[in-house]
Amino acid sequence: MSKPVVLVVDDHPMNTKLLAFVVRSRGLDVMTAATADEAWLAVEKTTPDVILMDVQLPGTDGLALTRQLRADTRFATLPIVAVTAYAMESDRRAAYDAGCSDFVSKPIDTRALGDLVAALAAAGKRS
């Protein structure tokens, strides 16, 4: 059985490196993308078990990409976690309204994020 795959979508290399480290520390495989276009191509090629989606991306933002993914029946139930520096209740609501499964504000709690990603990936592998 293959390991669950998590797609980390973030345009800042240090954020990508940290998120990838957290994911790998839980024994999961990682794919990365720095833009919405790269993320879309990655998802179509290899559907991940979970996406960690930065909200602020260059060009198409993470919430717009989430809405695009949700509109495609192949990705309608794919767990997508918004990862953002915005921590206001309105930002959280916007993420959920776009179709995100969960919301994590930066700076991230690496232990809590690792637990969340591992749980989402395990749930996806069982279904």
* Residue-level pLDDT at 125: 60
Using one digit for the tens of pLDDT, what is the confidence trace for 95-120? 999 999 999 998 999 999 999 999 99
Average pLDDT, the chain: 94
Residue 83, C-beta contacts closer than 8 angstroms, at least 6 positions apart: 10, 15, 19, 52, 53, 54, 55, 104, 106, 108
Using one digit for the tens of pLDDT, what is the confidence trace for 17-66? 999 999 999 999 999 999 999 999 999 999 999 999 999 999 999 999 99
Using pLDDT thresholds of 50, 70 and 90, give the confidence band for residue 85.
Answer: confident
Write down the CATH superfamily of domain 5-122. Answer: Response regulator (3.40.50.2300)
* Residue-level pLDDT at 127: 46
